[in-house]
Chain A
Amino acid sequence: MRNYKNVIAAYSIMIFLIILVGIFQSWSIALTILNYCLISAVMTIGANIQWGYAGLINFGIMGYTALGGLAVVLVSVEPVKKAWQVGGLNILACIWIIVAIIFVVKFILNRFDKSKLRNYSVASVILGGIILLRVTAAPGIEAIESVDPAKTGFLGGMGLPVLFSWIFGALLAGGLAFVIGKIALGLRADYLAIATLLIAEIIVSIIKHEEWLARGVKNVIGLKRPAPYEIDLQTSEWFINLVTKFNSSKLNLINSISDKQEALNQMVIDASSVYVKLCFTGLFLTVVIFLLIVTQKALYSPWGRKMRAIRDNEEAASAMGKNIVKEHLLIFILGSAIVGLAGAMMVTNDGLFTPGSYRPMRYTFVIWVMVIVGGTGNNFGAILGGFVVWFLWVEAAPIALFLINLFTSHLPETNAVRVHLIESAPYFRFLVIGIGLLLIMRYRPQGIIPEKIIKQ
């Protein structure tokens, strides 16, 4: 029990901080932060599986997040029938061409011995295939993008309920991780980091610029939701009754009927946004708890012990007959799939898909800071890291603003230094995160909640 004390203490402090935000700022903001904390927690679980369990350094988290977001668009948006009619055939043909290229290359690689001729023929097949792809795709893409470009201009999705996209996002990210893992996992640690960072950048630039796929930088807005809409809530009888019941004491204090109605309206509007966010919180919490149970079971299973053995001493594990390449690939796929799931959750929460917003700073490095700060190799630690770092990331600016105002209060309002500092308050979050990371790396390299090994 003693071991769990610091875990419970750390989580209680975190919850307390979020409640403080609710009291001082607003409950809506507190819930937004909580939802993002939960999403971050899913991402850190994914990154922690790769880094904490197996010691794989994956700086490509942004790519999988974006792919998960893309999955939401591909699954939940209604198909654009006209676009399929004008250009669907070309796109389908392209998919077949890609499959054909892969099979031809595989065939050449398996059939012939290593030689210059083989290299050249593989290169020429790929080059010829790309030219063929461009020729086939160009008219189709042009046709698709010209279908009502202000609203659609893309193929649309499958029109399924949005929750399916979470599974699809995980599958998509896992599939991509399989390909990348096959290519890059043989590299040494810091090369793997650079390679994954750059590959993620390629993925995002494809999503950004292929407008027929998901409108690219034009964004997709108004995505489906697994929760009710605020407008519907505000007009439904039961919800208004519920709000009246909750606030009856406050409402009873107001005497005039018109004032009462106005106050009630405002309360209903506030409550509807809180209610919707609570619905999301419930969904996300379910996912986090499910993942936590599964990963915790996995970590202390024979498989988890095997992973730790491989992480701590590859040669020894290899000598014991463990297939390191296979296990690394598996764990790379699992971790990336969870990150993809988180990406899908995030886009569902936002209700819009904005490929332009995927930046390595926010989606790769901050997630890594979360894992390191929370505690590598410990799921409770990783989730806590997600909470702490996201909380700091959001609240750093208001806190910095408060402190700046406090320390410069003796200066006049128009003082250049003061104005400049107040303008740059949002950037203090980078400073806080950076210094936090450096301090943790130096004085507590195992993280807030360190990994603990249960001897069996």
Chain B
Amino acid sequence: MDFLNAIIVLFNFTVIPALAYGSQLALGAIFVTLIYAVLRFANFATGDMMSFGTMFAVILTYYFQSLGFGLGVLPTALLTIPFAILMMILYMLIIDKFVFSYYRIKKSPPVQFAMVSVGVMFVTQALIRIIIGPSDRRFLDGEKFIIKATEFKEMTGLAEGITLKSTQAITIIVTLIVVSIMFWFLNRTKTGTSMRAYSDNEDLALLSGIDPKRVVLITWVIAGILATIGGVLYGLDKSYRPFVYFNNMLPIFAAAIVGGIGNPFGAFLGGYVIAFAEIFVTYAYKRFISYLLPEHLEPDSLLQLLSTDYKFAVSFSILVIVLLIRPSGIFKGKVI
């Protein structure tokens, strides 16, 4: 019985949050990695682009709520995602047309691209703050919990309970659906194959008649979908705050590089690697251990490797270690 309790404690406080957080990171990381693979630059505007898409979802959610639309138990935000994605893709295409395409045609070095993306980051951040403001916004409605701790305890008779927030379940399910569709698209369809060919060898792809404009367009479309969905899921789970999204860019970069930049599947797994590492290293194992050990051996301290303040630092340290030992990432991305 104690053993079961211990497992449930671990599951409730680490595995479920890590899965949800990892899914959000994974979507962002695939976004980064796709841009890197096809357009060949590290996009420093990642976090703010995700924020930009989410902003539309937030505004539309408020609008739909005022009209009385809704999905009942599900959050209204899910209904707004398609519209937000459209706006996001439109914005990305405008940015690409006026900013990135010039450097792509000139074949500028990646550093210049990175600096340009910093400029885009500034502009996007300004637009977000001017349109919606920097304050904290919650836009979750509908049912908050799927399983509550008290109900779980009553059902099973255990001392510890499992809480499953609906946002966590939605995050994991939506991520799995989106990612599987994306992998099917990349690996099984002709367009997806042409994208991968373009990313592997641009000249060869051009010779075999692949239209680069179309590849770039489709990359931005997929990027827009991933960025918006990732951003909205994060916003539903925590809350929407422009500044936080900028900060999230850093673990997302870590996830993309740890998974092997340029490799979408690596980025997907990298998101979970980073999330699990962050949560496992900063979790206090006292309650978990006290169930497993006999009573007189109970530990005094919290048994925490690092305090939760260092959550981000953990993922960055993992990134630094990976860069040092295996710069191509765990799952072999592009060779650096």
**Which A residues are closer than 8 A to B by beta carbons?**
57, 138, 183-184, 187-191, 193-195, 197-199, 201-202, 205-206, 208-209, 361, 365, 368-369, 372, 421, 423-424, 427-431, 433-435, 437-438, 441-442, 445
Which of A191, A421, A430 meets B257, CB within 8 Å? Answer: A191
> Does the CB pair B110–A424 fall under 8 Å?
no
Nearest Cβ distance between residue B39 and chain A, in whole angstroms? Answer: 12
Measured CA separation A43–B301 after assembly (Å): 44
> Does the CB pair A435–B123 fall under 8 Å?
yes
> Does the CB pair B42–A194 fall under 8 Å?
yes
Nearest Cβ distance between residue B255 and chain A, in whole angstroms? Answer: 12
Which of B41, B123, B309, B336 meets A430, CB within 8 Å? Answer: B123
Which of A201, A421, A431, A438 meets B127, CB within 8 Å? Answer: A431
> Does the CB pair A430–B250 fall under 8 Å?
no
Interface residues of B in 274-305 (CB under 8 A from A): 301
Measured CA separation A268–B250 after assembly (Å): 49
> Does the CB pair B317–A191 fall under 8 Å?
no
> Does the CB pair B320–A183 fall under 8 Å?
yes
With known contacts A365-B118, A368-B118, A428-B126, A198–B309 Cβ distance under 8 A: no
What are 27 sample pairs from A and B whose C-beta atoms fall under 8 A apart? A138-B301, A187-B327, A189-B110, A189-B114, A190-B114, A191-B257, A195-B319, A195-B320, A197-B250, A197-B253, A201-B250, A201-B312, A201-B316, A202-B312, A205-B309, A205-B313, A427-B130, A427-B134, A431-B126, A433-B122, A434-B122, A435-B119, A437-B119, A438-B119, A441-B116, A441-B119, A442-B102
Measured CA separation A201–B110 after assembly (Å): 23
Interface residues of B in 115-135 (CB under 8 A from A): 115-116, 118-127, 129-130, 133-134
> Does the CB pair B336–A438 fall under 8 Å?
no
> Does the CB pair A199–B111 fall under 8 Å?
no
Nearest Cβ distance between residue A397 and chain B, in whole angstroms? Answer: 12
Measured CA separation A320–B44 after assembly (Å): 36
Q: Tell me if B310 is interfacial: C-beta within 8 Å of chain A.
A: yes
Measured CA separation A188–B327 after assembly (Å): 10
Q: Which residues from B are CB-within-8-Å of A184?
A: 320, 323
> Does the CB pair A198–B253 fall under 8 Å?
yes
Q: What is the size category of the interface that chain B forms with chain A?
A: 35 or more
Q: Tell me if B307 is interfacial: C-beta within 8 Å of chain A.
A: yes
Measured CA separation A202–B318 after assembly (Å): 12
Nearest Cβ distance between residue A439 and chain B, in whole angstroms? Answer: 9
> Does the CB pair B114–A193 fall under 8 Å?
yes
Q: Tell me if B8 is interfacial: C-beta within 8 Å of chain A.
A: no
Q: Which residues from B are CB-within-8-Å of A183?
A: 320, 324
Residue of A201, A208, A430 with most chain B CB atoms under a 10 A cut-off: A430
Nearest Cβ distance between residue B46 and chain A, in whole angstroms? Answer: 11
> Does the CB pair B336–A188 fall under 8 Å?
yes
Q: Which residues from A are CB-within-8-Å of B129?
A: 424, 427, 430
How many contacting A-B pairs (Cβ < 8 A)? 123
With known contacts A188-B336, A198-B316, A437-B122, A431–B130 Cβ distance under 8 A: yes
Nearest Cβ distance between residue A206 and chain B, in whole angstroms? Answer: 7
> Does the CB pair B316–A193 fall under 8 Å?
no
Q: Tell me if B112 is interfacial: C-beta within 8 Å of chain A.
A: yes
Nearest Cβ distance between residue B25 and chain A, in whole angstroms? Answer: 14
Q: Tell me if B254 is interfacial: C-beta within 8 Å of chain A.
A: yes
With known contacts A198-B320, A431-B123, A209–B307 Cβ distance under 8 A: yes
Q: Which residues from B are CB-within-8-Å of A198?
A: 250, 253-254, 316, 319-320
| 0/1 interface trace, chain B 116-160, chain A, CB 8 Å (1 if under) | 101111111111011001100000000000000000000000000
Question: 12 other contacts beyond A183-B324, A193-B42, A424-B129, with CB at 8 A cut-off?
Answer: A183-B320, A187-B336, A189-B111, A191-B327, A195-B323, A201-B312, A202-B313, A202-B317, A427-B130, A427-B134, A434-B119, A437-B122
Q: Which residues from A are CB-within-8-Å of B319?
A: 194-195, 198
Nearest Cβ distance between residue B87 and chain A, in whole angstroms? Answer: 19
Measured CA separation A129–B65 after assembly (Å): 55
Measured CA separation A201–B248 after assembly (Å): 12
Q: Which residues from A are CB-within-8-Å of B301?
A: 138
Q: Which residues from B are CB-within-8-Å of A428?
A: 126, 130
> Does the CB pair B253–A430 fall under 8 Å?
no
Q: Which 8 A-B pairs have the closest CB atoms?
A: A434-B122, A430-B126, A431-B126, A434-B123, A427-B129, A198-B316, A437-B119, A209-B309
> Does the CB pair B118–A437 fall under 8 Å?
yes
Q: Which residues from B are CB-within-8-Å of A372?
A: 115
